[in-house]
Amino acid sequence: MAETTEVLEEKKIKVKEREPLFSKKNKKLISDPLDENNPITIQVLGICSALAVTVQMKAAVVMSVAVLFVLILANVSISLIRNLIPNRIRIIVQLVVVAALVIVVDQVLKAYLFDVSKELSVFVGLIITNCIIMGRLEAFALGNKPWPSALDAIGNSLGYGMVLVIVSFFKELFGSGKLFGFEIFGNATEQTGLYAMGYMDNGLMLLPPSSLIIVAVYIWVQKIRNPSLIESH
Amino acid sequence: MAINKDSNTYTISFAIILVIIVGGLLAAIANGLKPIQDENLVNEKKQNILNCLPGNKSITRDEAGSVFANFVKQRVILNYNGEIKENTLLDNSTELNNKDSRDAFSIDLLKEYKTIKDEKSRNYPLFICDVEGKTYYVAPVMGKGLWAAVWGFIAIDESGNSISGTVFDHKSETPGLGAEISQDFFEDQFIGKLISNEETYKSVEVNKPGNPLNDYQVDGISGGTFTSVGVEEMMSRTLVVYHKYIKNLNRS
């Protein structure tokens, strides 16, 4: 008799321990990657696409959405099968899941969003190689339940997208005088707006190295705002 | 019974099952979506052909499928000497057939560009179009940019002397640089440019931007030099064939 009550009580405690969907811990999963644990500026993952896909804001936004989609699905599916995955081949399993998802995204885009798929061209395939995705699978999804994994995926891809959009904002604005393809500084070929006064686009802004400079400035600003991020050596 | 997840048997069976599931899923999706994707590609090609005709820039991909036959009156395949290949002159009463090798529409220029090294033995498809009573010859061109293929469709006027419109596209040129060739500002520069002085063929040059231009020159893309060079090369290599054909046609 005493035993059963104990079991019952244990069950009760377990039920109580079930956390709400948006508990403080879960909210942190989303907010952390946006700032103090940003995948690009703090963990320095996914830098390659931050350099390559940031010449135009439109491409950066679409890329972020594609990464968001792939990362959520990958995180959730890996989390669902986390107890089945043999430890020795877990990286390969992750790779297979990510690659399959990316191919699905690519195929669906080609069929139903043809223009977007043309816009992204090779970058969709390159999502496979994005370190953030494998990093999150390995570091989080393998050890957590599906729901927190989904939140973690949302947080990290938003953190990634945020940096991409900010970098592309400066690159497109100063590189070609446009935002989302709209002319902000006037027309360079017809010499209107700012260009009439002798302003010129900065060609360096269109090239990958300028992303490094912008990301570096971003990190600098971030660390001034939050000194706890500065590593002490 | 507890399963030993570290055993070889478990690992191998897991891998096999995973691959079968994922492979089957991908095959099913790819097969299921193929017809829609193919239709997109066909319509895009139609759209490109129509868009380079004067006044047709705004035709969308969805419209292109239905109005294609209103503009494209004849489809024909030429050889390198600008002569019509046997049985390849089809008019718009013949249904477009993407699988029939006699149909100019079916010619896969990219494949020919990659596999047939000798440009003299390649096919040269031509679309003869009619816009408000005027004839235009739409010639596809194919070449390479910085990263992968670039291609385009060039509308040549009835006389065979000047360009009436162009459409360019690319597989994976750098956004903001080489990829700008598919923008209107680049394509529209070609309108009215000459490819011949009545008799001799002279190709259009894509120059470094900022220099004065004559009737045979357009501005390239700054920062997109390789792509600009690719555009110039594919036009100069291909248009000579169509020029020959149109001139011979006008003479007879």
Domain boundaries, chain A: 54-225
CB of A103 closer than 8 Å to CB of B25: no
Query: A112: which chain B residues are within 8 Å (Cβ-Cβ)?
Result: 36
pLDDT number for residue B30 = 92
Residue A18: per-residue pLDDT: 62
Residue A194, burial from CB neighbour count under 10 angstroms (0-12, 13-18, 19+):
middle
Q: How many residues does chain A have?
A: 233
Contact A203 B5 (CB under 8 A): no
Report how many Cβ contacts below 8 Å link chain A to chain B.
76
**What's the pLDDT at B214?**
85
Whole-angstrom distance, CA of residue A47 vs CA of residue B238:
41
Residues A158-204 pLDDT 10s: 999 999 999 999 988 888 888 887 888 877 767 777 887 878 888 78
| Chain A contact set for B37 (CB, 8 A) | 107, 110-111
Which residues are CB-neighbours of B2 under 8 A, at least 6 positions away?
Answer: none
Give the Cα separation of B76 and B74 in Å (integer).
7
Which of these, A205, A46, A131, A113, lies nearest to B175 by C-alpha position? A205
In sequence order, what are the residues at sequence separation of 6 or more whose Cβ sits closer than 8 angstroms to the Cβ of residue B120? Answer: B80
Task: Using pLDDT thresholds of 50, 70 and 90, give the confidence band for residue A121.
Answer: low
- Enumerate the residues of chain B whose CB falls inside 8 A of the CB of residue A110: 33, 37, 40
pLDDT for B139: 92
**Contact residues, chain B, for A183 at CB < 8 Å:** none
HEC readout, B19-41: HHHHHHHHHHHHHHHHHHHHHHH
**Residue-level pLDDT at A1:** 45
Give just the sign of the alpha carbon dihedral A141, A144, A146, A148: negative
CA angle A188, B145, A169 (to 5 degrees): 40
Return the C-alpha torsion angle A71, A77, A78, A84, nearest 10: 180
Q: What pLDDT shows up at residue A4?
A: 55
Closest CA relative to residue B163, chosen from B134, B131, B201, B192: B192
Cβ atoms B51, B57 nearer than 8 A: yes
- Across chain A, which distance is largest between two alpha carbons, in Å? 91
Comparison of pLDDT for A42 and B186, the residue scoring more: B186
Question: Which band of pLDDT confidence, cut at 50, 70 and 90, is reported for residue A79?
Answer: very high
Closest to A126 measured CA to CA, from A109, A106, A141:
A106
Chain A residue with minimal CA distance to B15? A93
Q: Mean pLDDT score of chain A, rounded to an integer?
A: 82
Mean pLDDT by 10 residues, chain B (252 residues): 78 92 94 90 89 84 83 88 83 78 85 87 90 89 90 90 90 79 88 84 84 85 87 91 88 81
Give the best-scoring range by mean pLDDT among A27-31, A44-48, A180-184, B226-230. B226-230
How far apart, in whole angstroms, are the C-alpha atoms of residue A211 and residue A216?
8
Determine the distance in angstroms separating the CA of A35 from the nearest CA of chain B, rounded to an integer: 28
In angstroms, the CA A211 to CA A213 distance is: 5
Locate tokens 């009156």: which residue?
B73
Q: What is the pLDDT at residue B17?
A: 93
Q: Which residue of A has its CA nearest to B189?
A: A189
Q: Quote the CA–CA distance of A179 and A56 in Å, as a whole number.
A: 8
